[in-house]
């Protein structure tokens, strides 16, 4: 079996919920050995959301926790106890990366700030994820992606429908999973720097920064203009390029046209639509004509697409070389042949006779996706990892008696 590109890298994670744990999950899927430190009594608080009905349970597994903690080993350690903190020192001494989402004040209290962790291992890559950034007046404030990534970044404003009284909330962990990739990529760059120069790095990433990165085109233009664009609903019948719009099918589905080179593709599109004569219609002959006659062009295309069903249009457009996409519903991705061919969705063995579908990390290595594995139970690997560190069973029993481990 081919090992991942980070095979041999040891990561210690002291983090909760999604943002930073998802970054560690990406590193685990790329081959790193990720040791997740959890409190013996409570574990990662994200586990508790299943009891409030916020997470779906599938064959006994918390679906959302599984995604953010795939492939890790869990060690239950109480870092507030001196014995627990000393265990972390031993773990850090043999690690390459330390990842945390604990707020700065909490890090100092636990001795897991940069100074504390570098005292354990001067060469360790230290990576932290925060809501609003490592500096400034809000550096010590907590937050989740709906606030930091979605609202404060300006993204919520851009996506607000004018007919709604209140801004919409993002989907679950919407910003966390995107922002996590920035940490994973930065850790990879830091490891490369250390390997080639011997210089170790600190990595800081935030949900706010990732949200700004996501909408940078709108944000930069807004700063230049001194005002933000109104979150207005686009007027279809005034589109500068009618071939960059979604069109409704006979069964109330949509096909999205994405023709950035519309004049080159227009004749072929007309043939695929079964309307070859439209290619020479002077109202629609080129981009300028279609823009001047946008209302007529969009109305005509609306009528054409309304004649066939979603599946019929997928067949009719299959050989069309221009850019278009079926607007799929999420459950349909499991049967999408392109998804299957690329291994974008894997079945993960839960260890109880059942499997769970899981999206693989979006960057693949060596011609194929990694195979995710399930998330651990709280403290599932405590004894295994401590034995690897050289502790004896008597040492482990004594630590349990002292409630330093679970």
Domain boundary among 302, 327, 352: 327
pLDDT in tens, 199-242: 999 999 999 999 999 999 999 999 999 999 877 666 899 999 99
Same domain? For 349 and 320 the reply is no
Structure tokens at 265: 């593709």
Rounded Cα–Cα distance for residues 339 and 303 (Å) = 31
Element (H, E) at 221: helix 216-225
251-301 pLDDT, tens digit each: 999 999 999 999 999 999 999 999 999 999 999 999 999 999 999 999 999
The answer to whether the CB of 32 falls within 8 A of the CB of 10 is yes
19 within a domain of the structure (yes/no): yes
Joined tokens for residue 26: 């990406």
Instruction: Check whether residue 164 and residue 19 sit in a common domain.
Output: yes
Pair (197, 257) in one structural domain: no
Spans of the chain below 70 pLDDT: 1-2, 232-234
Helices (H), 140-215: 145, 155-159, 174-197, 207-214
Does 56 reside within a domain? Answer: yes
Name the residue range of residue 44's domain: 10-216+341-402
**Claim to verify: residue 309 and residue 356 sit in the same structural domain:** no
| 152 in the same domain as 37 | yes
Nearest alpha carbon to residue 197 among 130, 135, 257, 125? 125
Residues 212 and 310 placed together within one structural domain of the fold:
no
Does residue 28 lie within any of the structural domains?
A: yes
Q: Nearest-CA neighbor of 68 among 204, 202, 181, 191?
A: 181
pLDDT of residue 22: 98
| Token pair listed for 103 | 């707020």
Residue 20 lies in a domain: yes
- Would you say residue 313 lies in a domain? yes
Q: Tokens 């409630």 map to which residue?
A: 403
Final residue before a domain boundary, out of 277, 299, 327: 327
pLDDT number for residue 1: 45
For residue 163, how many C-alpha atoms fall within 13 Å in the half-sphere facing its CB? Answer: 2
Q: Both 303 and 249 in a single domain? A: yes
Same domain, 66 and 174: yes
What pLDDT is attached to residue 232?
62
Backbone phi, psi, residue 348, to 5°: -105, 130
Give the count of domains, the chain.
2
Asked if residue 4 belongs to a domain, the reply is no
What is the C-alpha to C-alpha distance for residues 155 and 147, in angstroms, rounded to an integer?
A: 10
CATH number at residue 321: 3.30.1540.10
Residues 211 and 98 in one domain: yes
Residue 2: the pLDDT is: 58
């Amino acid at each position: 079996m081919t090992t991942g590109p980070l095979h041999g890298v040891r990561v210690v994670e002291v983090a909760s919920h999604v943002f930073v744990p998802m970054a560690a999950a990406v590193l685990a899927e790329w081959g790193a050995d990720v040791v997740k430190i959890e409190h013996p009594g409570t574990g990662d608080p994200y586990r508790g959301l299943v009891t409030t009905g916020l997470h779906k349970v599938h064959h006994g597994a918390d679906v959302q926790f599984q995604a953010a903690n795939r492939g890790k080993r869990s060690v239950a350690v109480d870092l507030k106890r001196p014995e627990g903190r000393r265990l972390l020192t031993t773990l850090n001494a043999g690690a390459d990366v330390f990842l945390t989402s604990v707020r700065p004040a909490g890090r100092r209290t636990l001795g897991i700030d940069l100074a504390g962790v570098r005292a354990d291992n001067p060469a360790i890559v230290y990576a932290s994820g925060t809501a609003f950034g490592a500096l400034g007046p809000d550096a010590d404030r907590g937050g989740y992606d709906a606030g930091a990534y979605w609202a404060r970044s300006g993204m919520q404003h851009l996506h607000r429908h004018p007919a709604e009284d209140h801004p919409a909330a993002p989907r679950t962990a919407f910003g966390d999973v995107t922002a996590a990739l920035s940490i994973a990529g930065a850790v990879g760059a830091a490891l490369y720097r250390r390997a080639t120069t011997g210089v170790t790095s600190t990595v800081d990433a935030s949900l706010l920064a990732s949200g700004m990165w996501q909408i940078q085109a709108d944000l930069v233009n807004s700063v230049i203009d001194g005002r933000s664009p109104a979150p207005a609903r686009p007027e279809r019948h005034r589109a500068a390029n009618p071939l960059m719009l979604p069109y409704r099918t006979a069964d109330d589905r949509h096909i999205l046209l994405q023709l950035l080179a519309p004049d080159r593709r227009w004749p072929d599109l007309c043939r695929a639509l079964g309307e070859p004569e439209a290619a020479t219609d002077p109202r629609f002959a080129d981009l300028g004509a279609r823009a001047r006659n946008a209302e007529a062009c969009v109305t005509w295309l609306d009528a054409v697409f309304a004649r066939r069903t979603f599946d019929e249009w997928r067949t009719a457009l299959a050989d069309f070389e221009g850019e278009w996409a079926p607007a799929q519903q999420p459950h349909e991705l499991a049967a999408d042949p392109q998804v299957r061919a690329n291994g974008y969705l894997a079945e993960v063995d839960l260890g109880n006779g059942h499997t769970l579908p899981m999206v693989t990390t979006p960057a693949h290595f060596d011609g194929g996706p990694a195979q995710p594995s399930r998330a651990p139970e709280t403290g599932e690997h405590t004894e295994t990892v401590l034995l690897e560190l050289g502790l004896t069973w008597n040492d482990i029993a004594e630590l349990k008696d002292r409630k330093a481990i679970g």
